[in-house]
A and B are shown apart, each in its own frame.
Chain A
Amino acid sequence: MNLRPDPTFHATPQLAMQAPTENYAFTVMLSPDGSQSDGIAVVDVNPKSDTYGQIVHQVIAPYQGDEFHHFGWNACSSALSPLTGHAFLERRYLIVPGIRSSRIYVIDVKEPLEAKIHKIIEPEEVFAKTGYSRPHTIHCGPEGIYVSTLGGGGEDGTDGPPGIFIMDCETFEIIGRYEMDRGKQDKHYDFWWNLPQDYMVSSEWGLPPQFENGVVPEDLLSNKYGHSIHFWDLRARKNIQTMDFGENHQMALEIRPAHDPAKSYGFCGVVVDTTNLQGAIFTWWRDDDGVWQSKKTITIDPRPEDADNLPELLKGFGAVPPLVTDIDLSLDDKYLYVACWGLGEMHQYDVTDPMNPKLAGKVELGGIARGTAHPNGKPFAYGPQMVEISRDGKRVYWTNSLYSTWDDQFYPDDEGGQMVMAHVGENGGLTLDNDFYVDFPKGLRSHQIRLEGGDCSTDSFCYPNV
């Protein structure tokens, strides 16, 4: 407990943008076959440092086969609302779930160079207390730490629907399930919210048998992955509206609400439209009658490609689908970054008008049947994937692995973990930094990135911009 609010808590997104810049990044290292332990790499991102762009510390799990994926903080700017009653938490712990093992690690990063495991929650406890499995997205909010899961109970995670559970934000005890009325929600992936407006939005990937051993082509072509997002009354824990994007919009993944809590809109990325292989972004908003609406505001076309150059999975299509696997919104709600993991491109859209996004910048790197090298000459396996933006919006970091078994299907000849960074121009535009290129230890891949002091997909703000 602090005597003052943690200096990394900010009332508004504007204040967060003015805060000192990040010195360290925390990045997931995962062993795709479980032959090594997973871990968190502490990466030096301070350009003035001698070890800039290097992994300066590693926290290694004592088990194998966890498959680290997404993770988050124990506390963020949301604590600055008197309504939460925990203004004096420290932003100190990373909550890191194993998406395959259902084990949860609490890592103390108060001293980034001496980061260490603080607590381990065994999978049995997760199963017993929640009936859920395969924990995924972490957000800190009014009632503690909220954790979304991808699986329900049972060996293969299909016994009952997946959902969200709540952990105590001080003791990290699992408290129990979040939902009181889940409505039509039967799959899960990401979630986020607007705390003062008291709504939450959740999304859908697929059930564990649909992803753990790789994408199931028959399921994809018969539109059996998630294609709906759900709107919740956050504090009543009730699903108030389910919005179906149409069943061809397979895998509605990342939810990115506008950071300014006075706004009532946000974005959701759809991996692939099975009718034309496009990737898509939907803008969702609340209309004057309080009903949630959505519109497809960005489409990204596939690239025709000779079948000989394509992996087995895509040979029949003669094209590379963009595969929109991650999106992230800058704190000023101005730029939406869209990772096209299949094409091998990172797009930057100006979403000042959220209904009319405009492509403002683009970087080509990696990609199926293209494999664009980094401008510094080094290779980039797979394509741009998990993306994180610095608080000030000037630097965009990303890594390359999607999910162990899926990497192998879409990029059977690639291997390796890389993390890169691009600079954002004064009026948009995106340029890779030649000097920032992190090559992960042999046999390990990389996934989500968290920035010291918070970033553009962790903090929820309770006060509108002025």
Chain B
Amino acid sequence: MAALWGAVIFSGFYHGVNPGMGWPLAVSAALFEHRTAALLSALVALAIGHLLAMTAILLPFTMMIALVQWEAEIRIGAGVLVITLGVYLLWNRRHPRFLARVKPSKLGLWSFLAALAHGAGLMLVPIYLGICAIADTDAGHAAAGVLMASNFNIALAVAASHTLAMTVAGGALAAGMYFWLGLKFLSKSWFNLDVVWALSLILVGVIAVLSAK
């Protein structure tokens, strides 16, 4: 259980430190407006977009896993989905061009779409299902309605804690660059994680399939 929650937090940090997920935009906003508050409001916009993307992906699974007898199949299906996306991203290293059409002023929307497009939400699904499975076993075979409510709360908690971790990590880098390190830090700290990202999707998917029973 603790390991799974650890994974939720860790993946949040992992998303957060990646400049591609948006923290440099917060620095840019602060520089544009000459005030630190703009850094915070940009981080909040990015966080809201990310949170919504996580929630949007997790909630359908909340409904599905109420079907307790299909639990293993659902977990395997989710694992396969995540593996498929990972393989696809390995094969196609392109970033979707429609993301470049989002207006720079719509940071929340951009963050939402970027998280969806890169499968950031999907990566959480197997972890989430694992948490639900353990929680449900602990709760015994409660009524479907109760289970669903509990799973719903877990989904929100997973999305929120993941997003919080992401925002803390990205926010720390953004603040560091804005106050101390300067913009040269941007190109120094940016690593091409495309392959690592795709591989981590595959890894999470494989673990999900293997642990489903």
Contacts and interface: CB of A to CB of B under 8 A. Distances in A.
A144 B103 contact: no
Given A83-B104, A143-B101, A195-B104, A2 B184 contact: no
Interface in B2-41: 19-22, 24-25, 27-28, 31-32
A349 B122 CA distance: 56
Interface in B158-213: 182-184, 186-188, 190-192, 194
A441 interface: no
A15 B182 CA distance: 10
B85 to A, nearest CB: 17
Main SS at interface, chain A = loop
Contact of B191 (A4, A82, A85): A4
A289 B19 CA distance: 33
Given A2-B192, A5-B190, A262-B31, A84 B100 contact: yes
A9 B192 contact: no
B102 interface: yes
Contact of A198 (B104, B110, B184): B104
A23 interface: no
Nearest to B22: A82
B110 A464 contact: no
A235 interface: yes
B97 interface: yes
Contact of A466 (B31, B103, B105): B31
Contacts of B97: 85, 143-144
B1 interface: no
Tell me if B's interface is mostly helix, strand, loop or mixed. helix
A169 to B, nearest CB: 10
Nearest to A262: B32
Interface string A204-244: 00000000000000000000000000000001100000000
Contact of A196 (B28, B93, B186): B28
Contacts of A250: none
A4 B105 CA distance: 27
B32 A464 contact: yes
A143 B95 CA distance: 10
Contacts of A85: 20, 95-97, 99-100, 114
A82 B101 contact: no
In this complex, the interface size class of chain B, counting residues with CB under 8 Å from chain A, is 20 to 34
Interface string A80-93: 11111111100000
B94 interface: yes
Interface residues of A, number: 36
Contacts of A310: none
Given A82-B21, A462-B28, A463-B31, A3 B187 contact: no
A12 B185 CA distance: 12
A83 B102 contact: yes
Nearest to A85: B95
A429 B28 CA distance: 34
B191 A464 contact: no
A11 interface: yes
Nearest to A7: B187
A3 B100 contact: no
A1 B187 CA distance: 15
A83 to B, nearest CB: 6
A10 interface: yes
B187 A9 contact: yes
A5 B24 CA distance: 14
Given A12-B183, A196-B32, A463-B183, A83 B190 contact: no
Contacts of A83: 25, 99-100, 102, 104, 110
A380 to B, nearest CB: 40
Nearest to A234: B103
6 contacts: A3-B191, A4-B191, A81-B104, A88-B194, A143-B101, A466-B183
